[in-house]
Each structure stands twice: as C-alpha cells, then as structure tokens.
Amino acid sequence: MRRVGGGMSAFVAFAVGVATILSLLLGDNPALFGGQAGSEELARRLALPGDVLLRLVVIVVALSIVIGVANLLFVHVGRAARGAFTSAVVLASFAFTIYWYVSRRGDTSLLEAVQVPIESALAALLFLSLTLGGARILQKRADIWGLLFVVVAVIVLLGSIPLAELAPVKALSDWLLAIPVSAGARAILLGIALGAVVAGVRALLGQDRAFRG
C-alpha cells in the first residue's frame, strides 16, 4: 500500500513538475511558435497551468505559517509539561501577546517594546561572535587558506577606516572586493545554481525521496 502511495505521489510530482516547467519555459511567448495565426492563443494556454499552480503554491505557503505556530505550541506544551521553565515562558508570552493584541484592538507596542530591543541585543552579540570567530579562525584552519582569510578580512577592515594615511590600503581593499572576492562569490553562486538545477530536475522527475515515499 505504501509502495502504491509512493508511486502515486511520484507520478503527481512528475506530472505537476513537467506541466509547470513546460508552461514557464514555453508559455507567454508567441514568437516561439513562429508568430503565426493562433500562436498567441497557444502561448496563452501554455502559460495557464504554470500560473494556476504557482498561485496555489502562494496560498499553501501563506497557510503554512499556521502549521508552524501550531508546531511551536505543540513542542513547547510538551516541554512545559516536563517542567521546562523556558517553554512555560514562551507559552505565557504567546498567550499574553494575543490577549494584548485583541484587547487593545491591534496595538503592537508590546511587540515593539520587547521584540525590537531583544533583537538589537542579539545583533550586537552577533557582531561579537563574528569578531571572535574571525580571531579564532587560525586555530580551526591553520593552513594557507585560513591565513589568507584573516589577511583579507584585516585589509578590508582597515580599508573601511576613513584615514588619509590608509589610502593605499583602501585601494587594495577596493581591488580585492572588485576582482578576487567578486570572482569567488560568482563561482560559489554558479556552483549553487548548478546544484539547484540538478536537485530541481531530480524533484521534477519524481526521483526525490520526498516524492518516492
């Protein structure tokens, strides 16, 4: 039974994937069909399945936030029942925020008074973590690449200081950012794009385990 279910879901994934990709690649461009009579109608019809399916995705994704909140509550109710104090705080905060929002007719001042300062404090902590991580990198990667990472980071940091004496460092920093860093970033993005295409094709063909069951 499970095997049949897996086969069905793989077939649905394949059909939906192929319909969407063909619709996106071939639709809405009459020139692709030689611009002859009826080609506009054909291009419009080909674009329709893609439009419909993408709108469905938008609706499902918007609804998934409800699933997320339900999961958050479910996890923390279980933890609070086992005596986790922080989970009890999460649940109490959730209930109080809902009560505040409803009783004050959409007032978000509580969110701004608590959430924003906490996130700002975390952002400051993030800066410290990053600095510490940069300082410790040579402990983790004691090789030429770790050294290069630190040297480039120091040059870019020094180059961002607005001092006339550091003008040559700024020029070097600008060159580093414009040529080697940009080239490296493009190479990484290109690799990610290729990987995304292969993963997308695997999903499109219903070969992914998520669809095979």
Partner 1 sequence: MDETTLQVYSVLFVAITVVLVYTARFFQTRPGRRRKQRQLDGFERIPTWTTRSIESNRPLHLSFGGADVGGEGTPAALAQAEFFHQVIQGAKASDATPIVTMSAPATLPLGQATLRRAWAKGGTAARAQWIPPDLAFAGALTASMDIDEPEAHILAGRFGPELALMLDGANRRGQPSLAVSDRLDGQAVAYALADHVLIGEELYAAPGYDSEDGRGHGDTAVLDVWRALIIAGASVLLLLEFARRVALLNWTLVLAAAAILIVLGLFFSRRR
Told to check if 80 binds partner 1 by CB under 8 A, we report no
In the complex, the smallest distance separating the C-beta of residue 161 from partner 1, rounded to whole angstroms, is 21
**Cβ(158)–Cβ(177) below 8 Å:** no
* DSSP secondary structure letters along 9-45: HHHHHHHHHHHHHHHHHHTT-GGGGTT-TTHHHHHHH
**Cβ(203)–Cβ(14) below 8 Å:** no
Told to check if 1 binds partner 1 by CB under 8 A, we report no
Site string for partner 1, 170-199 (x = CB under 8 A): ---------------x-xxxxxx-xxxxxx
Told to check if 208 binds partner 1 by CB under 8 A, we report yes
**Can you tell me which of 29, 47, 166, 176 binds partner 1, judged by CB under 8 A?**
29
Site for partner 1 in 46-75 (CB under 8 A): 57-58, 60-61, 64-65, 67-69, 71-72, 74-75
**Can you tell me which of 149, 155, 156, 172 binds partner 1, judged by CB under 8 A?**
149
**Can you tell me which of 1, 4, 37, 123 binds partner 1, judged by CB under 8 A?**
123
Comparison of 113 and 167: residue with beta carbon closer to partner 1: 113
Comparison of 151 and 167: residue with beta carbon closer to partner 1: 151
Q: CB atoms < 10 A from the CB of 116, how many?
A: 10
Which among 187, 189, 211 has a CA at the least distance from the CA of 201? 211
In the complex, the smallest distance separating the C-beta of residue 163 from partner 1, rounded to whole angstroms, is 26
- Helices 2-26, 39-81: crossing angle, 10 deg rounding: 130
In the complex, the smallest distance separating the C-beta of residue 170 from partner 1, rounded to whole angstroms, is 21
Q: Pinpoint the alpha helices (H) of the chain.
A: 2-26, 39-81, 85-103, 109-140, 144-159, 167-176, 182-204, 209-212
Q: How far is CA 130 from the centre of its chain?
A: 21
192-197-202-203 Cα dihedral, nearest 10 degrees = 90
Binding residues vs partner 1 (CB under 8 A)? 21, 25-26, 29, 31-32, 57-58, 60-61, 64-65, 67-69, 71-72, 74-75, 78-79, 84, 86, 118-119, 122-123, 125-126, 129-130, 132-134, 136-137, 140, 149, 185, 187-192, 194-205, 207-210, 213
